[in-house]
Amino acid sequence: MEPDSKPFTPVSTLGEFGLIGHLTNSLHLLQPSSVKGVGDDAAVIRYKGNPYTVATTDMLLEGIHFDLTYTPLKHLGYKAAMVNFSDIYAMNARPRQLLISLGISGRFGVEQLEELYAGLHMACTRHGVDLVGGDTNSSLTGLTISITVLGEATKKQLTYRNTAREGDLICVSGDLGAAYLGLQVLEREKKLFEQDASFQPDLSSYEYIIGRFLKPEARKDIIDYLERAGITPHAMIDLSDGLSSDLMHVCEQSQLGCKIFNHKIPIEERTAQTAEEFGLEPLIPALNGGEDYELLFTVGTDAYEKIIHFPEISIIGHMVEPEAGRYLVTQEGTAIELKAQGWNHSAPMRTSLPAQEDGRQKK
Ligand SMILES: [Mg+2]
């Protein structure tokens, strides 16, 4: 961010209320359930019928969750909203309202906050979500963004992590591992730039994976498809920590094992290429990279015919009895025990699959 080269209006010229008004006066409420939005002591929400309210919250801290040297504020606002929408969709619910709290230092003027809000607005408009409230405070350090999203679902639609059934097909949307590699490319270019300020990165061949990291899309289309097809998943989670960790949550909470097949895991060609460039087996970021914000869900085998006709969904394996454990099976028939690695921005990732960790051969 270079405040010197762009117009910079100190936040104090507008004052807190002026700032809130400035950032939110273009909002029009989209949802009939949003009775009162920004401007009173609290938002008022009234869901008609007999819905359940689903709530999620997420805090992003500068230097921990994002780096403003390569993250445009508009993208950041977009992503901050999207990751919350993704959690609502992962309940098979629909996001309706969003509240945002910001901690901002003197480095941020009105123009920077406008950028952040432009991204937020774009995400909200795409998903039909109303921004109904928030709070803005001065901070001594970096930027802090806390977002809460409310959504609704009927009892029948609600889908938890603990309700997968033995024999269920395990499905994932989209493709995996791209966001992790996008981040690796950005970090690499940042280091080169720090060594030589005249360095001009050419990121054109990495556009896809960088986009997956900076500007993820919550999979509303998958929830829409499942609804149209009359499929209620048995269990669902969004992939924020990596396939391995997130599938483990479903297994643990549903008290089941799983078997997934490495050649079924969807990996984009561009992701695989970049993985190799970084000396990683492409499957590794797909299993252990995070922030893909795809959906993982399980369905009964009766949904098979409908699922295979939707190109955005891949069937990667099935849920098995708990005694059978949790395994990734390679094309050669080697079974590798799945481990929850989790998403950690700074931890180095193992570069290849273990040959055969437990010495057992599984078919
Ligand atoms: Mg989640």
- Domains of the chain as residue ranges with CATH: 3-153 (3.30.1330.10), 169-337 (3.90.650.10)
Ligand 1 centre from 86 Cα, in Å?
Answer: 7
Ligand 1 centre from 177 Cα, in Å?
Answer: 16
Q: What is the DSSP letter of 137?
A: E
Ligand 1 centre from 102 Cα, in Å?
Answer: 22
Q: What are phi and psi of 56, to 5 degrees?
A: -145, 155
Ligand 1 centre from 88 Cα, in Å?
Answer: 8
Ligand 1 centre from 90 Cα, in Å?
Answer: 7
Ligand 1 centre from 220 Cα, in Å?
Answer: 14
Strand-pairing partners, residue 297, are: 171, 236
Residue with tokens 């097909």: 169
Tokens describing residue 332: 């050669």
Residue with tokens 């970084």: 278
Give one DSSP letter per residue of 54-116, joined into a string. Answer: EEEEEEEEBTTTB-TTT--HHHHHHHHHHHHHHHHHTTT-EEEEEEEEEEE-TT--HHHHHHH
Q: Name the pTM for this structure.
A: 0.90
Query: Residue 332 and residue 355: Cα distance in Å, rounded?
Result: 11
Ligand 1 centre from 321 Cα, in Å?
Answer: 24
Ligand 1 centre from 312 Cα, in Å?
Answer: 19
Q: How many helices (H) and strands (E) does the chain have?
A: 10, 13
Residue with tokens 């409420």: 29
Question: In 3D, which of 325, 319, 329 has the Cα closest to residue 356?
Answer: 329
b or e along 116-128 (b: 16 or more beta carbons within 10 Å of the residue's beta carbon)? Answer: bbebbbbbbeebe
Ligand 1 centre from 242 Cα, in Å?
Answer: 11
Residue 167 CA from chain centroid, whole number: 27
Note whether 175 and 266 are within 8 A (CB). yes
Per-residue pLDDT of the chain (363 residues; tens, 9 = 90+): 444 577 899 988 988 778 888 988 888 899 999 999 887 788 899 999 889 999 999 999 999 999 999 999 999 999 999 999 999 999 999 999 999 999 999 899 999 999 999 999 999 999 999 999 988 888 988 899 999 999 999 999 999 999 999 999 999 999 999 999 999 999 999 998 888 888 887 888 899 999 999 999 999 999 999 999 999 999 999 999 999 999 999 999 999 999 999 999 999 999 999 999 999 999 999 999 999 999 999 999 999 999 998 999 999 999 999 999 999 999 999 999 998 765 444 455 666 766 544 433 333
Residues found in the chain = 363
